[in-house]
Chains A and B, each alone.
Chain A
Amino acid sequence: MPSQLVKEYFRTENLPHIWCPGCGNGIVTRAIVKAIDNLGLNKDEVCVVSGIGCSSRASGYLDFNTIHTTHGRALAFATGIKLAKPNLKVIVITGDGDASAIGGNHLIHAARRNIDITTIVFNNNTYGMTGGQYSPTTPTGDKGTTAPFGNIDMNFDLCELAKAAGATYVSRSTIFTANMLIKQVENGIKNNGFSFIEALTICPTYYGRKNRKGEAVDMMVYLKENAINIAAYDKLPKEQREGKFVIGEIYKSKRPEYTEEYQKIIDSFSEGV
């Protein structure tokens, strides 16, 4: 018998899920659900939109309004849904490839618009679903099916990208620090604007194996040991930052929200009638 949380928010008839043993996707998915539960949202007021990838399959397991869309386009669908039904809490579930390769353009423009959508990127540094090709977040030098001698591209810092593009809530956590992730999803949903949450997760099957990162537990230990809270990171001398990454709430600001601005235009015409 599943837990209360799982019974309440999952389509348990579809469980156990398809993800590999030790895949981090389940940890992120549970964190999202826990955040929604903590906020006490009505299930019918939530719409979960995902793209394509192992991570994007999460929507199929969740018992909200859900839509599993096309590769890279979750934010385009989500924008339409939010404009049609501005009262819905729209949550986008996407992968690093989905969000920042094929869907990179949608990402920067959704952020620029500051539309009230909470986007959670399951960043496993690879295209898991298609067999471990390198993605825009594969660290330079790491291997992928399409980079057998090591990736020569610079990898994106997704949080810096989202911040520069105009997101008004930007944070990062890991599947090890899952409690922090839960809090961030809560705060992201509460932010009236575009919220971007990067969940650092693991793909032991492809990224892990190709890069000799060990088993799921070893990959979790790596996240545990190299993630540094933003306040501590800022105080760290440059040479000690090598190989470390920031977690925490990276950026918060206030700007007009897109659907509210759009409504003002509509209202300006109806007032005249």
Chain B
Amino acid sequence: MSTKTEVSLIVEKNWCKGCGICVAFCPKNVLEIKNGKVNIRDLEACIQCGQCELRCPDFAIYLGGK
């Protein structure tokens, strides 16, 4: 069941350098590093705070959609 249909969390895997910054500062533990790249492990937990997008040095994760 998803109530978060308006905005989605998008990853540009080719640009991700696996630094782990987004993983470390996500307040809801949504993200992980898998095979050297970011991976969304628990989308349901995402509160769309945008902190991952704010601090990703590679513009590789962001809230988008609509």
Chain B binder among A23-31, A93-101, A244-252, A261-269: A23-31
Confirm or deny: B45 has a beta carbon within 8 angstroms of a beta carbon on chain A: no
Confirm or deny: A19 has a beta carbon within 8 angstroms of a beta carbon on chain B: yes
Query: CB < 8 Å: which of A2, A4, A22, A30 contacts B17?
Result: A22
B24 vs chain A, min Cβ distance (A): 4
Q: A10-B59, A176-B55, A179-B54 are in contact. Are A3 and B64 (CB under 8 A)?
A: yes
How many B residues face the partner with a CB closer than 8 A? 21
Confirm or deny: A40 has a beta carbon within 8 angstroms of a beta carbon on chain B: no
Confirm or deny: B19 has a beta carbon within 8 angstroms of a beta carbon on chain A: yes
Number of residue pairs spanning A and B whose beta carbons lie under 8 angstroms apart: 70
B38 vs chain A, min Cβ distance (A): 12
Whether the pair B12, A217 counts as a contact (CB closer than 8 A) is no
Whether the pair B57, A27 counts as a contact (CB closer than 8 A) is yes
B33 vs chain A, min Cβ distance (A): 11
Residue in A closest to B66 when the chains form the complex, CB atoms:
A4
Chain A residues touching B, range: 20 to 34
Residue in B closest to A204 when the chains form the complex, CB atoms:
B19
Provide the main secondary structure of the chain B interface.
loop
Which residues of A are found within 8 Å of B55, using beta-carbon distances?
27, 175-176, 178, 220
Which residues of B are found within 8 Å of A84, using beta-carbon distances?
none
Whether the pair A220, B21 counts as a contact (CB closer than 8 A) is yes
B53 vs chain A, min Cβ distance (A): 7
**CA A5 to CA B62, docked complex, whole Å:** 10
Query: CB < 8 Å: which of A5, A6, A24, A215 contacts B57?
Result: A24
A216-248, CB under 8 A of B: which get 1 and which 0? Answer: 110011000000000000000000000000000
**CA A3 to CA B53, docked complex, whole Å:** 9
Whether the pair B15, A23 counts as a contact (CB closer than 8 A) is no
Residues on B facing A (Cβ under 8 Å):
10, 12, 14-15, 17-21, 24-25, 53-60, 62, 64
Given pairs A22-B57, A178-B54, 19 additional interface contacts (CB within 8 A): A3-B59, A3-B62, A6-B62, A16-B14, A16-B15, A16-B17, A19-B58, A21-B18, A24-B57, A26-B56, A26-B57, A27-B54, A27-B57, A30-B54, A215-B19, A216-B21, A217-B20, A217-B24, A220-B24
6 contacts between A and B (CB under 8 A): A3-B64, A10-B59, A16-B17, A21-B18, A217-B19, A221-B24
